[in-house]
């Protein structure tokens, strides 16, 4: 009955409470049950759904089932606790505004009662799966009901009740909007910000998304069309036009010699297949056998897909194998600085940003995974310095890689 009156008859609920003495503890307890219980029920319903999905799609067993329930349950309780604290602060500040704006009938404990009991609309947050989305409606409902309850409990004019209640949620909403836009702006600047290529190759500025993501997509399309990975990265640029265009637009490496021409000319004349493959024959004349190649470089890109099955993309841990690495740096430092970074793209086309200081550790993990699939260890990206590929024999002999000069 208290919940129903708090939602639809806040004035009548206030009139039913004792006028001379207040019981703020009971009111706060009511608010805690509504807020914590509602969000806990919602989050547990989401966790249960994820647990069921995890049970049927993952072999992790009980741990997979328990983790989302526990994490989301704690998250729901945390959100409810945040609103509980917000309600208490709002009630205290609302009473302060009432004191400033004129006379009132009762003390701060009665104002807390008014705000706490009108939190009843948040029972909607306990609706399974959709409760969180209903909480925005519940918040507006709470504000309206608390205005009516404070007007009745403190016997003040409606406008004074509005002035007491509205400034706090409006200010918080404004801060929330500013925070959201700030996060989006920061994410946009981080994602699209300029980065420069290793000075060993060029000082060209590129955008991480504009080079890494399309090349990952291009490799997938290449394997679908030809049932294999490219023998040379330039074959990707020549036979998948979007990848070639991306490479030319995002870097200045089109002038890199290739065969009897350069990469830019090869990409532009890729439809002349006989001529194009003549250039491949010239460029790869001294390459080792395909099965002996581990990695090769074109400008800032180190291709590491050699030896992989072309149909490896939906095979569990195989989706974590690296297809290529883009060597980049912030404008303030070289590849040896803490600001240097690598973009690693795996067979799932996920792009991972790896600081230079973390590359050794990440490379060790990757090579352990490669060994599980019978693939040779990758060299450090810095060791791949030339148009000459890194071969298994070089890794076995631990000999340095020729820089091509």
CA–CA gap between residue 293 and residue 312 (Å, rounded): 18
Find which of 184-188, 282-286, 340-344 is predicted with most confidence, using mean pLDDT. 282-286
Closest Cα to residue 206, out of 372, 95, 331, 58? 331
Where in the chain are the domains?
Answer: 2-190, 195-397
CA–CA gap between residue 312 and residue 347 (Å, rounded): 8
Question: Residue 203's pLDDT band (boundaries 50, 70, 90)?
Answer: very low
CA–CA gap between residue 352 and residue 169 (Å, rounded): 39
**Residue 326 predicted with pLDDT over 70:** yes
Whole-Å CA distances, 292 to 299, 322, 375 = 22, 18, 11
Looking at residue 198, its pLDDT comes to 38
β-strands 194-197, 205-207 pairing? antiparallel
Looking at residue 173, its pLDDT comes to 72
- What 3-state class would DSSP assign to 282? helix
**Residue 64 predicted with pLDDT over 60:** no
Looking at residue 267, its pLDDT comes to 86
Looking at residue 395, its pLDDT comes to 67
Q: Point out the least confidently predicted range of 117-121, 140-144, 197-201, 374-378.
A: 197-201
In degrees, to the nearest 5, what angle opens at C-alpha 316 toward C-alphas 310 and 322? 55
Question: Residue 224's pLDDT band (boundaries 50, 70, 90)?
Answer: confident
Spell out the residues 6+ positions from residue 311 whose beta carbon is closer than 8 angstroms to its own.
Answer: 223, 227
Whole-Å CA distances, 124 to 4, 10, 81, 88, 298 = 12, 17, 16, 20, 58
Closest Cα to residue 3, out of 23, 33, 25? 33
DSSP 388: S
**Residue 15 predicted with pLDDT over 50:** yes
Which helix H or strand E contains 303, and what residues bound it?
strand 301-303
| Mean pLDDT computed over every residue of the chain | 79
Spell out the residues 6+ positions from residue 85 whose beta carbon is closer than 8 angstroms to its own.
Answer: none
**Residue 154 predicted with pLDDT over 60:** yes
CA–CA gap between residue 202 and residue 86 (Å, rounded): 54
Higher pLDDT, 169 or 101: 101
Instruction: Spell out where 215-286 has E strands.
Output: 257-258, 261-262
Question: Residue 347's pLDDT band (boundaries 50, 70, 90)?
Answer: confident
Q: At 182, phi and psi to the nearest 5?
A: -65, -45
Looking at residue 319, its pLDDT comes to 80
**Residue 162 predicted with pLDDT over 80:** yes
In degrees, to the nearest 5, what angle opens at C-alpha 174 toward C-alphas 181 and 142? 125
Q: 189 burial class (0-12, 13-18, 19+ CB within 10 angstroms)? A: exposed
Question: Residue 180's pLDDT band (boundaries 50, 70, 90)?
Answer: low
CB 323 within 8 A of CB 214: no
Whole-Å CA distances, 199 to 18, 106, 205, 210, 362 = 78, 73, 11, 20, 23
The structure tokens 């009516």 sit at 148
Query: How many CA atoms lie less than 13 Å away from 154 in the CB half-sphere?
Result: 35
List pLDDT tens digits, range 269-320.
Answer: 888 888 988 998 998 888 888 889 999 998 888 999 998 887 665 666 778 8
CA–CA gap between residue 11 and residue 151 (Å, rounded): 8
pTM of the model: 0.48
List pLDDT tens digits, range 72-124.
Answer: 667 777 878 888 898 899 899 999 999 999 888 899 999 999 999 999 998 99
Looking at residue 315, its pLDDT comes to 62
CA–CA gap between residue 317 and residue 387 (Å, rounded): 30
Spell out the residues 6+ positions from residue 182 whose beta carbon is closer than 8 angstroms to its own.
Answer: none
CA–CA gap between residue 9 and residue 118 (Å, rounded): 9
Q: Which two tokens stand for residue 115?
A: 């705000």
Question: Residue 250's pLDDT band (boundaries 50, 70, 90)?
Answer: low
CA–CA gap between residue 61 and residue 89 (Å, rounded): 43
**Residue 7 predicted with pLDDT over 80:** yes
Q: Point out the least confidently predicted range of 12-21, 66-75, 371-380, 381-390.
A: 66-75
């Amino acid at each position: 009955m208290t919940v129903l009156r708090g939602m639809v008859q806040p004035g009548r609920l206030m009139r039913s409470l004792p006028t001379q003495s207040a019981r703020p503890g009971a009111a706060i307890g009511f608010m805690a049950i509504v807020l914590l219980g509602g969000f806990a029920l919602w989050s547990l319903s989401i966790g249960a759904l994820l647990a069921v999905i995890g049970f049927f799609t993952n072999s992790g067993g009980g741990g997979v089932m328990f983790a989302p329930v526990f994490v989301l349950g704690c998250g729901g309780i945390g959100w409810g606790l945040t609103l509980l604290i917000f309600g208490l602060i709002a009630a205290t500040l609302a009473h302060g505004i009432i004191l400033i704006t004129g006379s009132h009938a009762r003390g701060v404990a009665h104002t807390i009662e008014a705000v706490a009991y009108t939190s009843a609309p948040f029972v909607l947050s306990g609706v399974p799966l959709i409760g969180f989305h209903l909480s925005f409606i519940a918040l507006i409902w709470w504000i309206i009901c608390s205005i009516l309850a404070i007007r009745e409990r403190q016997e003040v004019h409606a406008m004074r009740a509005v002035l007491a209640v509205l400034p706090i949620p409006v200010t918080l909403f404004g801060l929330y909007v500013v925070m959201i836009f700030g996060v989006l702006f920061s994410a946009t600047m981080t994602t699209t910000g300029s980065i420069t290529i290793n000075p060993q190759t060029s000082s060209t500025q590129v955008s991480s998304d504009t080079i890494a993501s399309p090349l990952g997509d291009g490799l997938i399309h290449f394997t679908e069309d030809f049932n294999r990975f490219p023998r040379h990265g330039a074959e990707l640029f020549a036979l998948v036009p979007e990848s070639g265009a991306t490479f030319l637009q995002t870097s200045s490496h089109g002038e890199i010699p290739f065969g009897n021409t350069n990469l830019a000319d090869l990409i532009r004349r890729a439809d002349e297949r006989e001529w194009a493959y003549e250039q491949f024959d010239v460029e790869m004349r001294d390459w080792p056998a395909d099965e002996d190649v581990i990695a090769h470089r074109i400008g800032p890109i180190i291709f590491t897909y050699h030896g992989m099955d072309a149909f490896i993309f939906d095979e569990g841990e195989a989706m974590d194998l690296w297809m290529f690495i883009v060597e980049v740096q912030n404008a303030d430092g070289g590849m040896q600085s803490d600001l240097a970074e690598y973009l690693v793209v795996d067979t799932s086309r996920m792009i991972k940003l790896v600081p230079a200081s973390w590359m050794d550790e990440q490379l060790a993990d990757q090579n352990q995974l490669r060994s599980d699939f019978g693939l040779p260890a990758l060299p450090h990206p810095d060791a791949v310095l030339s148009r000459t590929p890194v071969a298994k024999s070089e890794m076995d002999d631990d000999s340095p890689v020729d820089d091509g000069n």
